[in-house]
Amino acid sequence: MKLLRLKNWPLSRQILILFMLLTILLGSSVGVLYPMAIKQYLVSNTFSLLEDEFNELSSHISFTEHNELLPFPASAPLFLQLLLSKYEYSFDVLVYGPNGELLGQRSTEQVPQSDLVQLYHMAATYKKDELQRGTLDRSHETYLFVSKQLNYHSFPYYLVLFSKERDLNNINAVLTQQFFIVFAIILVMSWLLAMWFSRYLSAPIRRLDESCQKIALRQFDVPLKVDRQDEIGQLARSFDKMKNQLKEYDESQRHFIQNISHELKTPIMAIQGYTQGLAEGVFQGEQADHGLAIIMEESKRLEKVVEQLLYLTKIESVAQMTQFKRVDLVELFTLIHQRLSVLNPAIEWDVHLPHSLYCYGDGEQLSTAFVNILENQLRYAKSKLSIRSSSFSDRLELILSNDGPPIEENLLPQLFQRFRKGKSGKHGLGLAIARAVIESHGGSIRVDNGEEGVYFTVILPTEAEGVAS
């Protein structure tokens, strides 16, 4: 149950606990497997060590004229001498005569007579010209030995080197103890390192949490500094980008409220003023007719603003867009040309499009978007309006330009926001609607000032995958 609640703990504690559990599990596994592996290694390599020591010791065996064994050096593997500095260890040595009599021995402790006899019989049963390996299991001891019959100036004898399994167990215990001392030191150091690392890893996340709390209070100007290139750094950069977008959105909402208040207040005040004048009889005759005309004009203006706001809200809600299909933009621009060219017959339309130009989207909404853009172009153009296109494998690019005056530089980044308009603009909603339509189709729109006028660049996907969902 505690593990199930682990996700509710601080991240630094989760990392530390999981790391400690992992190291404990690893230590337990090593604690069980290490002694077994060492024991197997010692047993499997004892015979090789015995053979090496046998070859070394056999050159030091010599006898007197009466076949009496002369003293010989103790036998101990060099690597065990270095490794087991506090543990006295050497191989036991037995020298037998040709009839089985024990000529000499060097052993760490007394070997029972019955074991000595049995070791001779096992050595004598092997081939006399080869170094043999053997194991002698007794009730109280297990011997691992190597033996061979040798000759010293035509005097035959048997040389036997053996090690007791009990000694291997003692060696195993010493090595295991040394290992666990080193492992315990490494474990403590790794836990201390894990404590530092868990805090180091969770620190930027805590800073992100603090920034979230400040953003919830609309404190957008608090800087977020996370100098990392990993996933946490990427999260921090994405968070900072989101913060800036929220800041822009918050500012645009404030501007929206201010602008919509102004756009709605003006016609409402005009309607109220003329209605009150008509009701009180202030306006008579032609003045009354003029007042009624103004009321009608302002009410239509108010209706237009409300309709555009509702349409913009609908477009920004992607779930409302369900009529996607292949749309031929050549046909669409032909209809738009016929519709808008009468608004300003003095403007030349320079249209260069292929015979067909398809994209995937809602034809009615795309028509609304391009009508809003081209109406804006016609409003500012001096003599010419041009439309160009470029096609790529997964998208198409449209450039709609006019030869009118450039847009103020401070207005360019805000031109597609609601109620942001130039000096000759109407309601400031047309380009906002155009951007909402194009972005809901998975495309993009931007505006730039060029040498010959203003350029609107629209990019649309040619396949369904590019559509927002």
Q: 12-172 in CATH: which number?
A: 3.30.450
Mean pLDDT (10-residue bins), the chain, 469 residues: 58 74 79 76 75 82 83 64 50 88 84 89 82 86 88 88 81 78 82 79 76 77 70 76 78 67 70 76 75 78 70 57 78 88 85 87 85 87 90 87 85 70 56 83 88 88 61
Closest CA relative to residue 433, chosen from 369, 367, 366? 369
Tally helices (H) and strands (E) across the chain. Answer: 9, 12
Q: Answer for the pair 367, 336: CB distance below 8 angstroms, yes or no.
A: yes
Domain ranges within the chain, ordered by starting residue: 12-172, 231-316, 318-466
| CA distances in angstroms from 112 to 108, 129, 142, 201, 442, listed in the order given | 13, 28, 12, 65, 93
Residues 6+ apart with CB under 8 A from 278: 288, 291, 292
**Where does 126-230 have alpha helices with state H?**
165-216
Q: Is the dihedral of CA 34, 39, 40, 44 positive or negative?
A: positive
pLDDT of residue 107: 79
Query: Dihedrals φ, ψ of 159, to 5°?
Result: -110, 125
Of 209, 250, 176, 269, nearest in space to 417 by CA: 250
217: alpha, beta or left? (left if phi > 0; alpha if psi -120 to 50): alpha
Fold of domain 318-466? Heat Shock Protein 90 (3.30.565)
Give the sign of the dihedral formed by CA 244, CA 247, CA 249, CA 255.
negative
pLDDT the model gives residue 468: 47
pLDDT value at position 458? Answer: 92
- 3-class DSSP state of 455: strand
Which letter does DSSP use for residue 382 in this model?
Answer: S
DSSP single-letter state for residue 72? -
**Cα–Cα distance measured from residue 206 to residue 203, given in angstroms and rounded to the nearest whole number:** 5
Q: What does the alpha-carbon distance between residue 136 and residue 144 come to, in Å, rounded to a whole number?
A: 7
Q: How far apart are CA 348 and CA 382, in angstroms?
A: 9
* pTM, 2 dp: 0.45
Distances (CA, A) of 444 to 271, 398, 435: 39, 11, 7
* Residue 463, pLDDT score: 76
Q: What is the CATH number of domain 231-316?
A: 1.10.287.130
